[in-house]
Structure 1
Amino acid sequence: MSTSSAMSARPEQKRFKGITLPPSGWTLAILLVLYIFTGLIGHDPWKNDDAVTIGVVHDLVRNGHWLSLSLAGAPYPDAPLHYWVAGATSYLFAWLLPLHEAARLASGVFTLLALTFIYLAARELHGREQAPAAPLLLAGSIGFLFHAHEAQPMLATLTAHTAAYWGLAQINGRALRGACCFGAALGLGFLANGLAAMLPLLPVAAFAAWRAENRRRAIVMLLGALLMAALLAGAWLGALQRDAPDFLAAFWQDELAVFAGGNQPLLNLTRLSGLLPWYAWPALPLAGWTLWAKRRQLRTLPLALPIFAFLVTLLAIITYLGARSTTALLLLPPLVLLAVPGVSSLRRGAANAFDWFNMITFSFFAILAWIGWSALVFGWPERLGQQALRLEPGFVGQFNLLGVSFAVLGTLIWCWLIVTSPRSPMRGIMHWMAGLTLFWLLIATLWMPWIDYGKTYRPVSAALAKALPEKHGCIAGLNLADSLLASLDYFDGIRTLALTSPAGKKCDLLLTTHGAPGAGSWQKVWEGGRPGDRRDNEKLQLYRRQAKTTANRQAGGDQQ
């Protein structure tokens, strides 16, 4: 009787069984794809890198400047790989998405590749069982979340770094394939972000060759990899030398300026020490635990390689790359590879505490996201709704059935996951990654209209276009950020000339954010900004040159 009862109970247990851990196959793929592509569409270009990148792609697609890039009609000397891929996705999805959303899909492509390569590198270094922790840790890093969902060229560089680590991890077992992978990564990485960001990989490759079982073969293979990289980079450089030598000269000038000095290593190190604890969470503390728990194995290649790579990349960032949020992305792959063994070796008490912290934290954040959405759409809680309107005056929340449906589905899956996930050393980082994905999904589906309302320059650009005279000449620009120039060009085709240029000095209109030079020479005719812009230097001002000044300037030109 007891045997039959046990047999009948087994199907019920399987019916309510959660996902298997470590996650693999479709489970891992679906989670990562949901994480990657949520939030890439559904909003306008935003300030900083997102707007600049989309502005370059817009110019590339509209004018066919695939070889030498430009922004709002002016040369933009930068490495082209991310813009090429973004231009390709813009063409492929032009029937479905506006250009800025289709271009942003390139970031999803590079993010997916980076997560794939970090998984492959972890599998080579730490084995198949521990490898799924690597993409979960990389995608779960808080700093990575922000940049993975914007049009960000550094994502292409990050992908090249992860591919390079995969290649170097194969230096003993599959030297030829590893060298080919490393060479392709190095060459494409140069096309992604130039020379400076790829230089840290050269000493890492030398270290891997020195530690290889067959040192002579490894050195020969890596020399071949350098030749492959040179051929890939040289194809673009050679084409520039033939068709756009001025652009090539400007590109090399910017590349060499990175090494010219001016960086403050101690200041950069201080900034990174304040940035990394939250930026690289939870990879950073797990990497620290690996150093302690595996302290007798630190000389082995699976641990020595990421340790050396982290130190070299850190040195590059503080000496010449600069301690910025984008450059800090390059520290994540070696940290993740070092943190992977720490997941399985974490003590049960610490693992359970980390797991409970994740479940409680993201459940709390999910509740806050839903309450905030209620305030935005229904005005309840009333005080929170008033605060939201104070931050973004004029916003009117609307109920979006599709977005709410996705948000409800994601919340239900989260509840199912935390109830049914089996005990496993990987349960904590799985819940962290899933919780972060849920929070980002709720922000993208429920809060995105409010965020986009405050960040987009579309209404500002439209108001400026309406304020311009019907038949106006050139517009001079003063103290305008690249992101603003890109937005004005993308939305309404408004372009400016630098006020200090010979052509800009002849313009009768001036666009600026810091007031016109020479108070008596210009008259303000328009001012505008985003709803949340309160400071004067955040608002755009349009000036017209005074008639007397114009007459004097024309008279002076006639006398000359």
Structure 2
Amino acid sequence: MPAQAEHARFRGVPLPPNGWTLVVLLVLYICTGLIGHDPWRNDDAVTIGIVHDLVTSGNWLTPSLAGRPYPDAPFYYWLAASCSKMLSWLLPLHEATRLASGVFTLLALGFIFLAACELHGREQAPAAPLLLAGSIGFLFHAHEAQPMLATLTAHTAAYWGLTQLDRRPLRGASWFGSALGLGFLANGLAAMLPLLPVAVFVVWRSAHRQRLAMLLLGSLLFACALAGGWLAALFVTSPEYLAAFLQGELTQLGANGQPLLAVQRLLLMLPWYAWPASPLACWALWAKRRQWTTTPLAMPMFAFVVSLLMVGIAIGARSAPALLLLPPLVLLAVPGVASLRRGAANAFDWFGMITFSLLALLAWIGWCAMVFGWPERLARQAVRLEPGFVGHFSILGASLALLGTLVWCWLIVTSPRSPMRGIMHWMAGLTLFWLLIVTLWMPWIDYGKTYRQVSASLAKALPEKRHCIAGANLADSIIASLDYFDGIRTILATSTAGKKCDWLLIHGSPRDGSSPAASGWRKVWDGGRPAERRDADRLHLYQRDARRGGSSPGR
């Protein structure tokens, strides 16, 4: 008896994971990396720039970027700005903004778990959040300021609502309508369109079609009321902004001139983007091929096909919108976990353990090279990639990384045999790898990606009193970063006001081929991030030469 008790004490986490084990693992994975680094380029910097503008200007109705109108759905920015205001005493704005992503991501994982409970039962449901969080594409966006995460949450909530329609029709319709309306406020119409055919499909398959059709009609009216509140306020106070927003929505729906090519690219992306959900979904389809007409398979199958087509046609083959393909694929993959044959399950388990153990070892070796200079060849490569970086030992970061590594070793030794062992190890290994990147590598990554030093250098080159700065070739992420770090705002060089500015900031070379120097401008500064050595990657600041009467390039 004592031997049995001792064995039970060290047998590891139960599988399927119970509530608290699952919650702790997912919260650790999601919350790691939301803080501790500056805004980076692309969506992260743009979103933080919009939230910064919203907080400083106080104009919550019409989001803008560095003083320029930025017609976009506002729901993510509202929650992010609320987080930044509530936590301004504790965190800088960019870190508090990313906490909104953490909130939406955790909600999405909760809703996909509830939807899986309805479709596949409580015993298999824990696989759903593990598969969603463990998808490679999900990792790319879950830790950045990303409005598409709010849309992903709306989709998972809508699927949960639809799976309840037969059992609890009123509650299911209410959740579906709420998700549809808030999803529109999070990312506009195009991202929510795939849910409408899925709702029609669910109603068509039900034995109570007429009742469910009326309930869903009511939920659509409720969704319109939610979205219409913001649109009505714009109509009254900012009709120009409303017109720009609606025009952008219509343009997006018809902007993709090659929809079949976009769908093909999404299909080619899915094997790695949705790994390991994609192969498990394929296995579930094969293993359950005689059950395709049942709701647990038919609904996610139809939802995936519709989402694939409509995302490809209306949004395009980009990484962030591809997040919307994950929920139906995950719901389809859940029965594949339990039905996986023992040999395949063991192979997947060993693949995950070996892969992440090797990645953890490489992460530690790379950290040693950056901090201690060994191995020397790898240390020289790290400095070559990010010139000027000097690594420093952090006892807190190293301690957390060591603790995570020890927990990983304990987990792979003690986990009991279970069909869910492979996906549990995959998710735990991904969490370890991300924890090591954040605790050991983040200073090196942040050094190469931030625009903080570039913005500070540019601010020193500019006089305190200046009329305006014209900008050319500046991406939204650069505009957002300069405004966020040092309050440097530019106006379009081709605009009437921009042609009168005495300062000109260009990223790379003018697209029309004209030379600022030939147009009567004198270069006074250039700069870029450490790895940006080519002129095409750097920022160039020019001052109008009064003696030559310079004009903006392209004038």
Kindly indicate whether the alpha-carbon contact (under 8 Å) linking 2:15 and 2:418 is maintained by their aligned counterparts in 1.
Answer: yes
Change (3 A) 1:261 1:491: closer
Change (3 A) 1:223 1:525: same
Q: Work out which of the residue numbers 449, 464, 475 in structure 1 matches 2:443.
A: 449
SS of 1:550's equivalent in the other structure is coil
Q: How big is the shift at 1:548?
A: 2.7
Q: Work out which of the residue numbers 123, 147, 150 in structure 2 matches 1:153.
A: 147
Correspondence 1:168 to 2:167: no
The residue aligned with 2:493 is 499
For residues 117-158 of structure 1, the C-alpha deviation after alignment (integer angstroms, 9 at most, x for no partner) is 000000000000000000000000000011000000000000
Q: Work out which of the residue numbers 374, 378, 400 in structure 2 matches 1:380.
A: 374
Change (3 A) 1:420 1:195: same
Kindly indicate whether the alpha-carbon contact (under 8 Å) linking 2:527 and 2:539 is maintained by their aligned counterparts in 1.
Answer: yes
Q: Work out which of the residue numbers 81, 88, 102 in structure 2 matches 1:108.
A: 102
Query: Hey, what's the Cα distance between the residues in 1 that align with 2:161 and 2:257?
Result: 31
Paired letter, 1:83: Y
Query: Hey, what's the Cα distance between the residues in 1 that align with 2:392 and 2:176?
Result: 50
Paired letter, 2:222: M
Kindly indicate whether the alpha-carbon contact (under 8 Å) linking 1:59 and 1:72 is maintained by their aligned counterparts in 2.
Answer: yes
Q: How big is the shift at 1:270?
A: 3.1
User: Where do 1:108-507 residues align within 5 Å?
Assistant: 108-507=102-501
Taking only aligned residues, the RMSD between alpha carbons, in angstroms, comes to 1.2
For residues 241-261 of structure 1, the C-alpha deviation after alignment (integer angstroms, 9 at most, x for no partner) is 111111111100100001224
Paired letter, 2:156: T
Query: Hey, what's the Cα distance between the residues in 1 that align with 2:497 and 2:134?
Result: 49
Paired letter, 1:541: H
Q: How big is the shift at 1:337?
A: 0.2
Paired letter, 1:35: Y
Kindly indicate whether the alpha-carbon contact (under 8 Å) linking 2:499 and 2:551 is maintained by their aligned counterparts in 1.
Answer: no
Q: How big is the shift at 1:217?
A: 1.3
Q: How big is the shift at 1:14?
A: 1.7
Query: Hey, what's the Cα distance between the residues in 1 that align with 2:489 and 2:410?
Result: 52
In structure 2, stretches of 5+ residues that fail to align are none
Kindly indicate whether the alpha-carbon contact (under 8 Å) linking 1:138 and 1:333 is maintained by their aligned counterparts in 2.
Answer: yes
Change (3 A) 1:551 1:254: closer
For residues 480-533 of structure 1, the C-alpha deviation after alignment (integer angstroms, 9 at most, x for no partner) is 000000000000000001011111010011001133534322111110000011
For residues 144-176 of structure 1, the C-alpha deviation after alignment (integer angstroms, 9 at most, x for no partner) is 011000000000000000000000001110111
The residue aligned with 2:67 is 73
For residues 399-446 of structure 1, the C-alpha deviation after alignment (integer angstroms, 9 at most, x for no partner) is 011111110110011001001100000000000000000000000000
Task: Name the count of aligned residue pairs.
Answer: 547
The residue aligned with 1:557 is none
In structure 1, stretches of 5+ residues that fail to align are 1-6, 554-560
The residue aligned with 1:535 is 534
Query: Hey, what's the Cα distance between the residues in 2 that align with 1:507 and 1:172?
Result: 64
Q: How big is the shift at 1:551?
A: 8.4
Q: How big is the shift at 1:308?
A: 0.5
The residue aligned with 1:546 is 545
Kindly indicate whether the alpha-carbon contact (under 8 Å) linking 1:141 and 1:283 is maintained by their aligned counterparts in 2.
Answer: yes
Kindly indicate whether the alpha-carbon contact (under 8 Å) linking 2:367 and 2:440 is maintained by their aligned counterparts in 1.
Answer: yes
Query: Hey, what's the Cα distance between the residues in 2 that align with 1:340 and 1:28?
Result: 16
Change (3 A) 1:552 1:138: closer
Point out the more displaced range, 98-107 or 265-274: 265-274
Query: Hey, what's the Cα distance between the residues in 1 that align with 2:325 and 2:404?
Result: 31
Point out the more displaced range, 444-453 or 260-269: 260-269
Query: Hey, what's the Cα distance between the residues in 2 that align with 1:313 and 1:493?
Result: 40
Kindly indicate whether the alpha-carbon contact (under 8 Å) linking 1:263 and 1:320 is maintained by their aligned counterparts in 2.
Answer: no
Paired letter, 1:170: Q
Q: Work out which of the residue numbers 51, 57, 64 in structure 2 matches 1:63.
A: 57
Correspondence 1:21 to 2:7: no
Point out the more displaced range, 507-516 or 306-315: 507-516
Query: Hey, what's the Cα distance between the residues in 1 that align with 2:372 and 2:179?
Result: 50
Q: How big is the shift at 1:269?
A: 2.6
Paired letter, 1:291: L
For residues 228-276 of structure 1, the C-alpha deviation after alignment (integer angstroms, 9 at most, x for no partner) is 1011001111111111111111100100001224431232133223311
Paired letter, 2:299: L
Q: Work out which of the residue numbers 49, 53, 75 in structure 1 matches 2:43.
A: 49
SS of 2:549's equivalent in the other structure is helix
Kindly indicate whether the alpha-carbon contact (under 8 Å) linking 2:256 and 2:313 is maintained by their aligned counterparts in 1.
Answer: no
Q: How big is the shift at 1:456?
A: 0.1
Change (3 A) 1:182 1:13: same
Query: Hey, what's the Cα distance between the residues in 2 that align with 1:265 and 1:91?
Result: 41
Change (3 A) 1:115 1:552: closer
SS of 1:480's equivalent in the other structure is coil
Query: Hey, what's the Cα distance between the residues in 2 that align with 1:503 and 1:8?
Result: 83
Query: Hey, what's the Cα distance between the residues in 2 that align with 1:530 and 1:44?
Result: 13
Paired letter, 2:186: A
Kindly indicate whether the alpha-carbon contact (under 8 Å) linking 1:89 and 1:103 is maintained by their aligned counterparts in 2.
Answer: yes
Task: Name the % identity.
Answer: 72
SS of 2:350's equivalent in the other structure is helix
Paired letter, 2:330: V
